[in-house]
């Protein structure tokens, strides 16, 4: 089993690339452990804070897929910054299919 590649553009517009990501790691865990600006992960991955909000690059959207109802409800609370490809980073777990994925960290909501 190899490792996977992830590109994250942080809230300051800085591109961070990680090419040794283990399968099963969530984008929140990855961003938080590497100090990616804008990824807080306050609730520890419980789908309850939206401080791991990312915009999935549209080219990857089909593979990532839609949020479930609980995640959507959380995203809906940050609707001022929500986009069509918004997801919670803690709910995206890396798998082979997502090797090379690109996401942009969403700005903090003002709610
Ligand atoms: S870490 Fe809280 S919703 Fe993702």
CB of 51 closer than 6 A to ligand 1? yes
- The 8-class DSSP code of residue 61 comes to H
**Residue 93 included in any domain:** yes
Phi, psi at 25, each rounded to 5°: -70, 135
CB of 50 closer than 6 A to ligand 1? yes
CB of 26 closer than 6 A to ligand 1? no
Token pair of 48 as six digits: 């309850």
Look at the chain and report how many structural domains it folds into. Answer: 1
Distance (Å) from CA 52 to ligand 1 centroid:
5
pLDDT score, position 9: 98
45 in the Ramachandran plot: left (φ > 0), alpha (ψ -120 to 50) or beta? left
Q: Which domain does 64 fall in, by range?
A: 4-105
By the 8 A CB rule, do 106 and 54 touch?
Answer: yes
Band (pLDDT 50/70/90 cuts) for residue 19 is very high
CB of 54 closer than 6 A to ligand 1? no
Q: What is the CATH number of the domain that holds 82?
A: 3.10.20.30
CA 95 from chain centre, in angstroms, equals 14
pTM recorded for the entire structure: 0.95
**Residue 111 included in any domain:** no
**Residue 74 included in any domain:** yes
């Amino acid at each position: 089993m190899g490792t996977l590649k992830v590109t994250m553009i942080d809230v300051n517009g800085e591109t961070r690339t990680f090419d040794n990501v283990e399968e099963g790691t969530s984008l929140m865990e990855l961003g938080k452990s590497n100090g990616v600006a804008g990824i807080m992960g306050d609730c520890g991955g419980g789908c309850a804070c939206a401080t791991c909000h990312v915009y999935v690059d549209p080219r990857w959207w089909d593979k990532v897929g839609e949020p479930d109802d609980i995640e959507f409800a959380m995203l809906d609370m940050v609707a001022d910054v929500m986009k069509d490809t918004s997801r919670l980073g803690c709910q995206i777990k890396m798998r082979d299919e997502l090797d090379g994925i690109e996401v942009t960290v969403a700005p903090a909501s003002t709610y």
